[in-house]
Chains A and B, each alone.
Chain A
Amino acid sequence: MKKIEFTVLVLITFIIAAGAQQADNNSTCVVCHRDQDPPLSTPVEQLKTSIHNNPKLSCAGCHGGDPTAEDADMAMSKAKGFIGKPSPEQIPKLCSKCHSSAAFMRTFNPNVPVDQYQLYLASEHGILLKKGDKKVATCVSCHDVHDIKKANDPTSPVFPSNIADRCGKCHADADYMKGYSIPTDQLSEYKKSIHAKTLYDKGDLSAPTCNDCHGNHGAMPPGIASVANVCGACHLVQSEYFSASPHKEAFDNMGVSECEACHGNHAIQKTSDQMIGTDEQAVCTQCHDEGSQGYKTAALMRDGIDSLATEISLAEAMISKAHLAGVEIQDKALNLSKSKDALIQSRALIHTLSMDKVGGKIKQGLKAAINALEIGRQALKEVGHRRNMLIIMVVLTLLVAGFLVLYIRVRERNND
C-alpha cells in the first residue's frame, strides 16, 4: 500500500515539475526568440541563470503582450499591451509592479524588502529621471536586464566586491558624466582607500563600498551635516566622541564636513599616530596655529600616544626575546594586551579632544605596559637562571662520568 502511495506521489511531483517547465519553454516568446540570432535570442539564454527564471514569471510581465498566442503578431500586439523594450522612465515602475507588492514578494521570500521603488523616487537618480533625464541609472543599470542575480551571488554586479565597478561604469566615465558637474575620480580614489583594501585584499565583505555610505536604491551624496552619521554607522565610538566634542559645533559653524575634514572621503587611508600632533603630516595644524590651545593639546596628545606606543614595543620585544629563549609566559603576558587595548582606546578618545580623558587612558596603558616589561625582565632573568642550572648539571654529570671512566681504568689495570 505504502509503495503505491509513494509511486503516486512521485508521479504527481513529476507531472507538476514537467508542467511548470513546459509552461516556460512553450511560451510563444521563448519558442520564437530562442531560434533567432543574437541579440534577439540573448534574453532566452540569459534568463536561464536569472533569478527571474521561474514559472510564476513570464516575459509578458515586463514586456506586455500575450505569451500564449501562437501567432507572433498577436503575441506582440499593442492591443494585448505589448510595449517592447521599456524606456528608462518605464523601468522603475515596471519593476515595482512586483517588487513593491508585499503580498506577491512574500510568495518568494517573506523577508525581501519592498521599499526599493519609494527609495528610488527619493534618490538623486529618481529625482533626475522624473525631471526627464534619461541618462540616469534605473534598476537595470545596476542589476542588469535579463540576467538578474541575487545580491548575495558573487557573480551579481551588486555583490559587495562588484558594486564599486558597477557604479563606476557611469560615475568614472568622464564623457558620460559631462554636464553633471561632479567629479569622476571617485572609483580610482576609492580603490586606493583602506576600505577597498579591506574589501578586495582581505576579502572582508563587511568593508564599506559605495552603497554603504551613499545608500543603494535611495542613493544620494551625504550632506555635510550627515557625514558623521554615515561614518558613525560603523565607527560608532569615534562618532559618539566627536559629536560630544567642541569640534562638532565648530565644524558645523564653519560648514566643514565632519569626519571628512581630517580623514578624507573616497580615498580614506588607514589612520596613523602621525595624523595627530604638530608635525607636517598632522591634520590638527590645518586649523590650529602655533601657540594656540588646540595646537598645544594636539602636541600633548601625540607625546602621550608616542610614549605609550614606545613602552608597548619595548615590552613586546622583551617578552618575545624571553619567548624565543623558551620561557612560556603567554598567560602572564595579559598586561601587554591590556596596554595595547588602552592604546587603541586612547586613539579613539582623541575624538573627544579632552586631554583628561586621553591622558587617563594613556596612564592606564603605561601602567600595564610597565608591568608587562617587568614580566619580560623576570622571564629573561629566568632564562639566565636556567642556563646556570644547566652548567651545574652538565658539570656534575661530567664529573660522575669522569669518575666512572677512572674506575673502569682502575678495574682494567687490576684485571690485567
Chain B
Amino acid sequence: MDKLKKLSNWFEVRIDLSGVKKFSDKKVVPVHQQHFWYAIGGITLFLFITQIVTGILLLLYYRPAADSAYESVQFIMTSVRFGWLIRSIHSWGANLMIFFLFVHMFSTFFMKAYRKPREMTWISGAILLILALAFGFSGYLLPWNKLAFFATKVGTEMAAVVPGVGKHILIFLRGGEDVTGATLTRFFGFHVALLPMTTFFVLLIHLVLIQAQGMSVPPTLEKEYKKNPKTMKFFPDFILRDAVGWLAVLGLLGVLAALFPWELGEKADRFASAPMGIKPEWYFVFLFQTLKYIPGRIFSLNGEALAIFAIGLGVLFWVSVPFFDRRAQKNLPSKAFTLIGIVLIIYIIVLTTISYFFSS
C-alpha cells in the first residue's frame, strides 16, 4: 500500500491531478427506481472497447483485397491461435453493441434525458448510433463472402435512388459502378480509419458532456428525488456496479462465440447468382422490409426514392427530438412523444419479425 501511495505521490508531484481527484470525489450518480438503465450506456462503451481490441488483433492478419480477404479470414479462423474466438467476439460484439445502443437510446428517450441542458448529449448519442450502423454496414463486407457481397450490392443500390446525386453517392461508396475489390478496400478504409476517428471525437464529446452534466433523473421521479435526493459516488461505487455488468456481457460474448461461432460462408463471386432470401444485418431489416411495401410509383414519383427521403426525414426528426418535445423541456408530461417511441419499437419488432418469419 505504501508503494502505491509512493507511486501516486510521484505522479502528483509531476502532474497536478487534484482537479480530477476533486471531481471524482464530488461526482455522484442519482439513485432511484430506474437507475438501472444508467448501466446500459457503460455496457455499450465496454462493447465498443472490445471491438477496438479485437479489431486491432484481426488487423494483424486481415488483408483487404478481393483475392485475399476471404482467405485471410479463413486463415484467422483455422490457423491463427484463438483466431476463431477473436473473430467471433468481434462479430457478436458488434451485434450486441448495436443492440445495447438501441436499448440505451430508447431508455434515455423514455426517461426524457434529452431535456435541457442535455440536448447536445442526445444529438451526439444519435450521431454515435448512425456511426455504429455505418461500422456494421462497412464491416459486414470485409470477409468478402457471398451473403455480404450481395447485401452490400443491394444496400449501396439504395443510395442510387436519391434524386440528382444518387449516382455519385453510389460511385463514391462502391469505388466504381459495381461492387468490386475497390469497394472492399474502400469499406476497409471507412471501417478502420474514417469511422473510428470520427467516432472517437463524437464519443469524447458525448462522455465529457455526461461527466459534466451528470445523469438525468426522469421527470416522473424528479419531484420525489428532489425531496429525498439519494446518490452514490461515481467512483468507485457506480464504476464497480458497471464492472459487474461488463463482466456479465463478457461472459455472454464468450458463450455466444463458443457455442455459435460466426460463420464465414462461401467466398463472394460476382458472377454467381444472388442467394435466395438475401437480407441485410438484423438492425437494417425493418427498413428493408418497409421498402418492400412501397409501390414503385407514388403520384408519378419514384416510390423508393420517396420512401428513402421519408426515412431520412424521420431520422432527422429523431435526432432533433429535444427541440420538438416542448412539453418535456418544460418538465411537463409529454405522452405524445412517449407514444411515438412505443409505436417505433412496435414497428421495428413487427417488421423485423415479418421479414424473418413470414416473408419470402
Which A residues lie at the B interface, using CB under 8 A? Answer: 326-332, 386-387, 389-390, 393-394, 397-398, 400-401, 404-405, 407-408, 411
Is B175's CB within 8 Å of the partner chain A? Answer: no
A393 to B247, CA, bound (A): 11
- B126 shortest CB reach to chain A, Å: 32
A326-B263, A331-B78 in contact; A393/B254 too (CB < 8 A)?
Answer: yes
Q: Which of A331, A397, A408 contacts B74 (CB 8 A)?
A: A331
The answer on a CB contact under 8 Å between A390 and B78 is no
With A397-B247, A405-B244 known to touch, is A411 a contact of B260 (CB < 8 Å)? no
Residues of B219-254 contacting chain A, CB below 8 A: 236-237, 240-241, 243-244, 247-248, 250-251, 254
- CA distance in complex: A401, B241 (Å): 10
Cβ-defined contact, A390 with B244, below 8 A: no
- Give the CA-CA distance A411 to B263 in the complex, in Å: 44
Closest 6 CB pairs of A and B: A326-B261, A390-B258, A328-B77, A401-B247, A397-B251, A393-B254
Does chain A have a CB within 8 A of B84? yes
Say yes or no for B264: interface residue by CB 8 A criterion: yes
In contact, A394 and B84 (Cβ under 8 angstroms): no
Contact among B244, B251, B258 for A404, CB-based, below 8 A:
B244
Contact with A along B259-285 (1 / 0, CB 8 A): 111011000000000000000000000
With contacts A326-B261, A400-B247 known, what are 12 further pairs, Cβ within 8 A?
A326-B84, A328-B84, A329-B78, A331-B74, A386-B85, A387-B258, A390-B254, A401-B251, A404-B244, A405-B244, A407-B240, A411-B237
Known contacts A393-B254, A404-B240, A332 near B78 by CB under 8 Å: yes
Bound form: Cα–Cα A386–B160 in Å: 45
Chain A contacts for B241, CB-based, 8 A: 408
A328 contacts which of B248, B250, B264 (Cβ < 8 Å)?
Answer: B264
Dominant secondary structure of chain A at its interface with chain B: helix
Nearest residue, chain B, Cβ from A396: B251
Residue on A nearest B87 in the bound complex, by CB: A328
A328→B74 contact, CB < 8 A = yes
B298: CB under 8 A from chain A?
Answer: no
Q: Which residues in A have their C-beta under 8 angstroms from that of B332? A: none
Name the residue of chain B whose CB is nearest to the CB of A405. Answer: B244
Most buried by B among A326, A328, A400, A411: A328
Sample of 24 A–B contacts (CB below 8 Å): A328-B261, A329-B78, A330-B78, A330-B264, A331-B74, A331-B78, A386-B85, A389-B258, A390-B254, A390-B255, A393-B254, A394-B255, A397-B248, A397-B250, A398-B247, A400-B247, A401-B244, A401-B247, A401-B248, A404-B244, A405-B244, A408-B240, A408-B241, A411-B237
> Within the assembled complex, what's the spacing in Å between the Cα atoms of A367 and B77?
27
Residues of B within 8 A of A390 (CB): 254-255, 258-259
Interface centre among B251, B255, B260 (most CB of A within 10 A): B251
Query: Closest chain B residue to A390 by CB distance?
Result: B258
- Residues of B close to A411: CB separation below 8 A: 236-237, 240
Give chain A residues whose Cβ lies under 8 Å from the Cβ of B251: 393-394, 397-398, 401
B245 to chain A, nearest CB (A): 9
Closest to A404 in B: B244
Q: How far is the CB of B273 from chain A (nearest CB, A)?
A: 13
- Please name all residues of chain A whose beta carbon is closer than 8 Å to the beta carbon of B237 when the two chains form the complex: 408, 411
Please name all residues of chain B whose beta carbon is closer than 8 Å to the beta carbon of A328 when the two chains form the complex: 74, 77-78, 84, 261, 264
Q: Which residues of B contact A329 (CB under 8 A)?
A: 78
Q: In the complex, what distance in Å separates the CA atom of A398 from the CA atom of B248?
A: 8
Q: Across the interface, which residues of B come within 8 angstroms of A401, CB to CB?
A: 244, 247-248, 251
Specify which of B84, B237, B244 lies most central, judged by the most chain A CB atoms within 10 Å of its CB.
B244
Contacts of B244 in A (CB 8 A): 401, 404-405, 408
Chain B residues whose CB sits within 8 angstroms of the CB of A332 once the complex forms? 78
A108, B72: Cα distance in complex, Å: 53
Q: How far is the CA of A400 from the CA of B84 in the complex (A)?
A: 25
Taken together as a complex, chains A and B put the C-alpha atoms of A118 and B255 apart, in Å, by 76
Query: Which residues on the A side are within 8 Å of B240 (C-beta)?
Result: 404, 407-408, 411
Q: Which residue of A lies closest to B266 (CB)?
A: A330
| Complex-state Cα separation, A389 to B259, whole angstroms | 11
**Across the interface, which residues of B come within 8 angstroms of A326, CB to CB?**
84, 88, 259-261, 263
* In the bound complex, CA of A24 to CA of B114 (Å): 80
Q: What CA separation (Å) do A8 and B75 show in the bound complex?
A: 66
Taking CB atoms, residues of chain B closer than 8 Å to A400 are 247
Closest chain B CB from A384 CB (angstroms): 11
A83 to B80, CA, bound (A): 84
Closest beta carbon of chain B to A137's beta carbon, Å: 40
Residues of A within 8 A of B254 (CB): 390, 393-394, 397
Nearest Cβ on chain B to A333's Cβ, whole angstroms: 11
Which B residues between 72 and 108 are near A, CB-CB below 8 angstroms?
74, 77-78, 84-85, 88
